[in-house]
Amino acid sequence: MSPSSVPIRMTATEICATALVESADQMESARNAAAFLKSLSNNNLLWLTLSEIGATDTWTTPSSQDTEFVIDRSSGLGVGVSDSNVAALIAINRRMAREITANSDLPHICSRVQLAFRESGGDVLMPWLLAKMRMKAQLQSVFIERKRLIPSNDRIRVSLVDRTRSTPANVLEITEDPGCLR
């Protein structure tokens, strides 16, 4: 990243969607056995990461049937994987990318994430995406937001608790106007 560059902020959803599209593109464009096996391995790692993140997060997660199918077909060095299985893997990746971005401008999202990758000076896109996905998931799950209504003064108390220490990291009080709840 050059000193005059402004870092591109990406959401976990944008990173995951780009990883799904990239993995689908890799499987679709593989022209030899080595590239095909690498694309299957990357897809397997991606879906293992997605299922791990999905279990701890609240965003749209793949169905258990899709997850099991993709992980099963992507593992095992391509043994027993037919052309129809590969086509299904590609279709599932693309569908999931559209679902988690709520049909937003997926090409634009992918180009922003790829620009961030190039700006970072990374070597290979898929490992970078997987690392960013894990990092975003860890950052999002470190803090738990707890809300409690305090009836005596109509205030909401929001405590951010660091899971690693189980102590309040910050307390923010917000006055709520009961009239706007009507």
Share the mean pLDDT of the chain.
75
Determine the pLDDT at residue 53: 76
The token pair that represents 29 in the structure block: 């464009």
The share of the chain scoring above pLDDT 90, in percent, equals: 34
Give the pLDDT band (50/70/90) at residue 72. confident
Determine the pLDDT at residue 60: 58
Sheet of strand 167-175, all strands in order from the earlier edge strand to the far edge = 143-150, 155-162, 167-175
The share of the chain scoring above pLDDT 70, in percent, equals: 66
Determine the pLDDT at residue 146: 35
What's the Cα-to-Cα distance from 178 to each of 147, 158, 171, 175, 181, rounded to whole Å? 16, 17, 21, 9, 6
Residue with tokens 């593109």: 25
Q: What is the mean pLDDT of residues 5-17?
A: 83
SS3 60: coil
Q: What is the mean pLDDT of residues 49-61?
A: 68
| 165 backbone dihedrals φ, ψ, rounded to 5° | -115, -20
In this predicted model, what pLDDT tens digit does every residue of 134-174 receive, in sequence order?
888 776 655 434 333 334 444 444 444 444 444 444 444 44
CB 106 within 8 A of CB 16: no
DSSP string, 102-139: TT--HHHHHHHHHHHHHHHT-S-HHHHHHHHHHHHHHH
- As a whole number of angstroms, the distance between CA 175 and CA 11 comes to 29
In this predicted model, what pLDDT tens digit does every residue of 91-127 receive, in sequence order?
999 999 998 888 889 999 999 999 999 998 888 999 9
Whole-model pTM: value is 0.70
Q: Is residue 22 pLDDT above 80, yes or no?
A: yes
